[in-house]
Structure 1
Amino acid sequence: MASGMQHKNAISTATEGLIQAQLELYHHSLGYVKSAALRAAAELGIPDAIHRHGGVATLSDIATETGIHPSKYSHLRRLMHTLTVTGIFSVEGYDDDAGYKLTLVSSVLVEGGESMCNLSPMVPLLVELLKLTMLFDIKVWFTDEQASAMTLFEVAHGCTPSEMKAKKGTGGIFQAAMVADTNLVMEVVLKEHMGIFKGVNSLVDAGGAHGAAAAAISKALPHVKCTVLDLPHVIAGAPTSRDVQFVAGDVFEYIPPADAILLKWILCIWRDEDAVKVLRRCKEAIPAGGKVIIFDGVVDSGASQNVILKETQVLFDIMMMGIDGVERDEQQWKKMFVEAGFGDYKISPVGHRSIIEVYP
């Protein structure tokens, strides 16, 4: 009898494991649906609609504010249900009386919110059909000899991301997203990590695009002379500024001298050998007491228990793989710093990225 019960329990455990495996497999496979639902909410302006209603809005309020067609009211309910289950919004009450509220996540998708940081331009950049379809060609890229000589993006779309932006005229979307990201990052950095600019009287934001980071530094620290260096076609679209000087150039060839060189979220787009070339140019540009300030990812080595942090970092790494870029761990960063001729560094984590101060 005992052996029969043990056999029955073993079968039960085995079938429970199968069902759990199926559940987890489907959950992972449907991850793109979560992303698409988030993009729909951002594009429809649902966070703004809730914000305009004082932070609580019914389905009827949201439908009216966002111009949703009456025939789609029941589908809006389903979308909002998904977005509350996944943590984008919260809800109190039931049916037509349910009140939807912003969460920490959706609060940064609001125009004119409390922090004045609106990340909604980042959502369509991250949740983009071109990026999704690019990832469907990983098998070909890994196994086909001809494809292996190209980037994953080129395999999927037949051109580089820059060429695609020029073809579709989406460069403005990219720049708006980068400005949104920079505004939030700099708000945090200038409140919590102001010490990184101690002793800095001049700074060059290398690859700084339209100068959002330099403008924030200049506003907070008027004594710091801020310069932005980027490619001529990028600088051509930059706004005029009395506080920030814009210089057209190539970070691989020359970086103007300054006490500090800022590299925000750009080294990840290059392979190690190219990133080292840029770091060497930075070393040439700074004095003996100067430094390079890097805002970029430092992939967690396993010490952190924050699953969302770990997953976000490795997901970014897969995205960077599409353009032959890479997200690096501390040892990979250290190896590059040594190759570029630097002697020391300091890492301060800030969300999924870190501030890395590198010294000659």
Structure 2
Amino acid sequence: MDASRDSALAADELLQAQAELWNHVFAYTKSMSLRCAVELGIPDAVHRRGGVVTVPDLVAELALPRSREPFLLRLMRLLAHAGIFDAAAGVEDANGLTAVSRLLVSASGAGQGLSPFARAMLHPIIVSPSMALASWFRAADGGANAPRVPFAAVHGGRDLWTVAKDDPEFGAAFNDAMACDGRFVMDVLLRGDGDALFRGITSLVDVGGGSGGAAKAIAAAFPHVRCSVLELPHVVASLRPGDGGVEFVAGDMFEHVPKTDAVLLKWILHGWGDDECVRILRRCKEAVPSREDGGKVIVMDLVVGSSSSPGDERATETQLLWDVMMMGVAGSPERDEREWRKIFHDAGFSGYKILPVLGIRSVIEVYP
């Protein structure tokens, strides 16, 4: 039956289907070419050369062997076609920065410094679980010793946090990635919707806030808000006291959250299953006043199907790509609105409001 259907397709339809198949098969090449560009420092090199550079000059700027020039030309051709760089009009073999590659530039005031995020997300430790998906699916019911997620299957049964601790180079890269992404998102949020989000509150606890980057940004933008960070004891012990006007509190979000007007959960819940999320949210609900008195929990996370550009298929595809990456690395899901609603209801909250103001991610105000 399939053969007869294929024979009914015109030759050009079959070839178009083959081209699409090949595009999917070789899509990893674009990611790896981006990784190469970041590791070589190409975005910064183009910036240093004034924002547009020829390939021969780029070879010189990067101190690469001259014999690599024709190969770098091919790499830049792909990245320009992908929109990461711009093939400069009127200048042969020249490329300029685009909005995408400017995000990767590290120079203050010239870019957003997101190269560490790209570098960590394309690190072999993060990418390797995707090579084991099929074998993991087959082994999923193999008994108590079966790995919980593909990440564990390829890393000797260890989870992400154990690997990050065992491998200092990767651990530092991962921490840098989270820090630069946090700075970027908080900068965007505080430029736009921050005033409405933090209006009326005088205290905030950033649960799982790491070194306090988000809390410090909020404290600087809204001096009337007393900001604290709840983190595990070993994290707090590693930090300098009194840094950035933020108080650090050692504790466990599953056990207790300090009393406050608002709780911030930034990229926390997507790392946990539904039951764990309900437990965390119940502790948060206990910490804040009633809805009538202005209490709320601020969740910054991905809502599948919601974005700053409604109907944008690329945004939805990116959300789904992130979800499958999380499936391989941590096992926890990215959730759509229906799934979030159930978690909030099970945790005892009265309502919520989704604000799709962070690109593919959203801010969710959750009310006691």
- Settle same-fold status: TM greater than 0.5: yes
Q: What residue in structure 2 maps to residue 160 of structure 1?
A: 159
Q: What residue in structure 2 maps to residue 357 of structure 1?
A: 365
Q: What residue in structure 2 maps to residue 342 of structure 1?
A: 349
Offset, 1:128: 2.0
Q: What residue in structure 2 maps to residue 6 of structure 1?
A: none
Q: What residue in structure 2 maps to residue 286 of structure 1?
A: 288
C-alpha distance in 2, partners of 1:236/1:79?
45
Q: In 2, are the aligned partners of 1:297 and 1:352 still within 8 Å (CA)?
A: yes
C-alpha distance in 1, partners of 2:164/2:177?
14
Per-residue deviation, residues 111-136 of structure 1 (Å, max 9, x unmatched): 12546521111011111212322112
C-alpha distance in 2, partners of 1:304/1:12?
37
Offset, 1:66: 1.5
Tell me the matched-pair count.
350
Per mean C-alpha deviation after superposition, the further-off stretch among 140-149 and 159-168 is 140-149
Sort the Cα spacing of 1:230 and 1:116 in 2 relative to 1 into closer, same or farther, 3 A: farther
The runs of 5 or more residues in structure 2 that have no matched partner are 1-5
Q: Which amino acid aligns with 1:357?
A: E
Q: Which amino acid aligns with 1:98?
A: D
SS in 2 for 1:105: helix
Sort the Cα spacing of 1:75 and 1:238 in 2 relative to 1 into closer, same or farther, 3 A: farther
Per mean C-alpha deviation after superposition, the further-off stretch among 230-239 and 42-51 is 230-239
Offset, 1:335: 0.4
Offset, 1:238: 3.4
Q: What residue in structure 2 maps to residue 296 of structure 1?
A: 301
Per mean C-alpha deviation after superposition, the further-off stretch among 171-180 and 328-337 is 171-180
Matched, 1:15 2:11: yes
Offset, 1:328: 0.3
User: Hey, which bits of structure 1, 4+ residues long, moved more than 3 A?
Assistant: 10-13, 113-116, 236-240, 301-304
Q: What residue in structure 2 maps to residue 266 of structure 1?
A: 268
C-alpha distance in 1, partners of 2:118/2:188?
20
SS in 2 for 1:137: helix
Matched, 1:136 2:131: yes
C-alpha distance in 2, partners of 1:176/1:239?
18
Q: RMSD in angstroms over aligned alpha carbons? A: 2.0
Offset, 1:233: 2.8
The runs of 5 or more residues in structure 1 that have no matched partner are 1-9
C-alpha distance in 2, partners of 1:321/1:44?
30
C-alpha distance in 2, partners of 1:84/1:284?
51
Q: In 2, are the aligned partners of 1:207 and 1:263 still within 8 Å (CA)?
A: yes
C-alpha distance in 2, partners of 1:301/1:192?
18
Q: Which amino acid aligns with 1:277?
A: R
Sort the Cα spacing of 1:257 and 1:115 in 2 relative to 1 into closer, same or farther, 3 A: farther
C-alpha distance in 2, partners of 1:344/1:265?
20
Offset, 1:73: 1.2
Taking the TM superposition and a 5 Å limit, the aligned residue runs for 1:176-195 are 176-194=176-194, 195=196
C-alpha distance in 2, partners of 1:34/1:151?
26
Q: What residue in structure 1 maps to residue 198 of structure 2?
A: 197
Query: Which of residues 28, 47, 59 is equivalent to 2:43?
Result: 47
C-alpha distance in 2, partners of 1:20/1:43?
34
Q: In 1, are the aligned partners of 2:87 and 2:95 still within 8 Å (CA)?
A: yes
C-alpha distance in 1, partners of 2:38/2:79?
11
Q: Which amino acid aligns with 2:345?
A: V
Q: What residue in structure 2 maps to residue 7 of structure 1?
A: none
TM-score, L = length of structure 2:
0.90
Per mean C-alpha deviation after superposition, the further-off stretch among 310-319 and 163-172 is 163-172
C-alpha distance in 2, partners of 1:71/1:236?
50
Q: What residue in structure 2 maps to residue 109 of structure 1?
A: 104
Q: In 2, are the aligned partners of 1:210 and 1:239 still within 8 Å (CA)?
A: no
C-alpha distance in 2, partners of 1:193/1:81?
38
TM-score, L = length of structure 1:
0.92
Offset, 1:54: 1.4
C-alpha distance in 1, partners of 2:137/2:56?
49
C-alpha distance in 2, partners of 1:165/1:11?
52
Matched, 1:315 2:316: no
Q: In 2, are the aligned partners of 1:107 and 1:113 still within 8 Å (CA)?
A: no
Q: What residue in structure 2 maps to residue 82 of structure 1?
A: 78
C-alpha distance in 2, partners of 1:156/1:330?
32
Taking the TM superposition and a 5 Å limit, the aligned residue runs for 1:57-96 are 57-93=53-89
C-alpha distance in 2, partners of 1:224/1:284?
20
Offset, 1:242: 4.3
Q: In 1, are the aligned partners of 2:121 and 2:127 still within 8 Å (CA)?
A: no
Offset, 1:13: 4.4
Q: Which amino acid aligns with 2:99?
A: L
C-alpha distance in 1, partners of 2:178/2:108?
19
Q: In 2, are the aligned partners of 1:121 and 1:173 still within 8 Å (CA)?
A: yes
Q: In 1, are the aligned partners of 2:350 and 2:367 still within 8 Å (CA)?
A: yes
Offset, 1:284: 0.7
Q: In 2, are the aligned partners of 1:46 and 1:66 still within 8 Å (CA)?
A: yes
SS in 1 for 2:164: helix
C-alpha distance in 1, partners of 2:123/2:315?
21
Sort the Cα spacing of 1:45 and 1:149 in 2 relative to 1 into closer, same or farther, 3 A: closer
C-alpha distance in 1, partners of 2:132/2:49?
44
Q: Which amino acid aligns with 1:248?
A: A
Matched, 1:217 2:198: no
Per mean C-alpha deviation after superposition, the further-off stretch among 139-148 and 327-336 is 139-148
Sort the Cα spacing of 1:115 and 1:207 in 2 relative to 1 into closer, same or farther, 3 A: farther
Q: In 2, are the aligned partners of 1:142 and 1:148 still within 8 Å (CA)?
A: no
